Amino acid sequence: MRLVVQRVRSARVTVGERITGEIGPGLLVLLGIERGDSLGDVAWLSAKLAKLRIFHDEAGMMNRSLLDLGLDALVVSQFTLIADCSRGTRPSFGEAARPDEAIPLYEAFVAQLATALNRPVATGEFGADMQVTLVNDGPVTLVLDAPRRS
């Protein structure tokens, strides 16, 4: 499981003309799910994300989290994060989880993050052709991977 986390001043996801999720200051989270990912990965990443200290404190240091500041998160599924580009020029998506495996994990991630933050989490629409608009803050962009299974 992989997250690309962007600190934003605002972000919005639309499907066609319909806004599916929108936030002000907070984190835009792109979520990629691999075959074999588990609810343990969901729990670890959602807890880590809620407490990730990437917002400035009074001294200008990155010492505050979503949870500390009561900020919002927008989670967007993105299977292309799992692409293997090591051979040739066409990405392989063979390790991306199929929808029957990925959808329950995506929904569990959103639910566990909402619980950790004590607030609703905005979302995109799984499997849809989405347009994501954001205003980066910093910019600050991080990649978080679930711990590797042995």
Query: Tokens standing for 121?
Result: 């989490």
In terms of DSSP bridges, do strands 72-77 and 26-32 run parallel, antiparallel, or are they unpaired?
parallel
112-142 burial, b at 16+ Cβ within 10 Å, e below that, comes to bbbebbeeebbbbbbeeebebebeebeeeee
> What is the C-alpha to C-alpha distance for residues 44 and 39, in angstroms, rounded to an integer?
9
Peptide bond into 120 cis (omega under 30): no
> What is the C-alpha to C-alpha distance for residues 11 and 8, in angstroms, rounded to an integer?
7
Q: Catalytic positions, please?
A: 78-80
- Please, how many CA atoms are within 13 Å of residue 62, restricted to the half-sphere of its CB? 11
